[in-house]
Amino acid sequence: MFSIKMRSSLGGKNGVGGKHISGAERIVKSCDVEKTVSSLLERARNHERGKADFINIKVQEVNENEAVRVPLLKITSKKTSSKSEGRSFAKSELLRIGVSETAVKNAFEALESLSDSMRGAIVLDADSGERLDSFGMRGVRCSNMDVADKDEYEKKLSELNMAGEHAREALVLASKVVNAKGAVAELCWSDDPNYVTGYVASPKFGYTRISVMKDLGDYVGGRVFFVRLPIDLDSYIDYLQNQVVLVEV
């Protein structure tokens, strides 16, 4: 199997700095490498966030036997009609999961104060609300994951009326994130200006899709990972960034 990762940006120097435009990854069989690279290149060159002047695509073989397999999260949906309604529901859902009021408050303040999107996530203590990672605007990027059976996954999403790359990728990422040791919840809304949906995910209640969590045209999004101490933070971050995970439907 091969891991294929794409990232694109605008205005930096040799890919460093500048505005994040797009990022995506897949884990595919050898016979699917070329068409996947072509698809991700097309996505990078034609993205709603802007025209990238730097595109990086990395192809690396991975050992399927070293992959951790995790179950796809249970999926529910909440229909909301405005950003305020969606974020209010997300706050109540995080409290129901067991995240403290302080941590919920700190998470929303952190995301709502961003002037540009982070490439990774903020890691917060679910009890104290303290930020645990030290990566600043880069955040902790969850990587190296995909579905084990793409046909079964597409069928599942179609049955749930969740077509599109945003839903496909978010659910895979959330399934990896909340299966980490010490994980309590994840909060996310997209940085794509024409996609206003967000979600809250947890080991306790699964993946809750919230139809409106930001204003149409807003280019700023982000995510927060809530964890409960004690955990080995280095091992937790290593799992998110490096452990190959295949999500099973």
**Confidence (pLDDT) at 53:** 84
Average pLDDT, the chain: 93
Which residues are registered as beta bridge partners of 23?
7
Q: What is the pTM for the complete model shown? A: 0.92
| Structural contact between residues 193 and 22, judged by C-beta atoms closer than 8 angstroms | no
**Confidence (pLDDT) at 13:** 67
**Confidence (pLDDT) at 17:** 66
Nearest to 172 by CA among 24, 6, 42: 24
Q: What are the structure tokens assigned to 93, written together?
A: 């859902």
CA atoms within 13 A on the CB side of 188: 29
DSSP state, residue 31: G
Overall average pLDDT of the 213-233 stretch: 96
Contacts by 111-120, CB closer than 8 A, 24 or more apart: 111/187, 111/189, 111/221, 111/222, 111/224, 114/220, 114/222, 115/220, 116/19, 116/20, 116/219, 116/220, 117/20, 117/191, 117/219, 117/220, 117/221, 117/222, 118/222, 118/223, 119/7, 119/20, 119/23
Q: What are the structure tokens assigned to 39, written together?
A: 């698809």
* Residue 230 preceded by cis peptide, ω within 30: yes
| Structural contact between residues 79 and 211, judged by C-beta atoms closer than 8 angstroms | yes
**Confidence (pLDDT) at 21:** 82
| Structural contact between residues 90 and 200, judged by C-beta atoms closer than 8 angstroms | yes
Q: What are the structure tokens assigned to 49, written together?
A: 């966030």
pLDDT tens sequence across 113-128: 999 888 899 999 999 9
**Confidence (pLDDT) at 14:** 61
* For the chain, domain boundaries: 2-62, 68-248
pLDDT tens sequence across 48-73: 777 888 899 999 999 999 999 999 99
What does the angle CA 177 – CA 181 – CA 183 come to, to the nearest 5 degrees? Answer: 50
Q: What are the structure tokens assigned to 150, written together?
A: 């793409």
Contacts of 61 (CB under 8 A, 6+ apart): 1, 2, 3
**Confidence (pLDDT) at 162:** 87
- Give the DSSP H or E segment for 9: strand 2-10
Cα-trace Rg, the chain: 17
pLDDT tens sequence across 187-213: 999 988 999 999 999 999 999 999 999
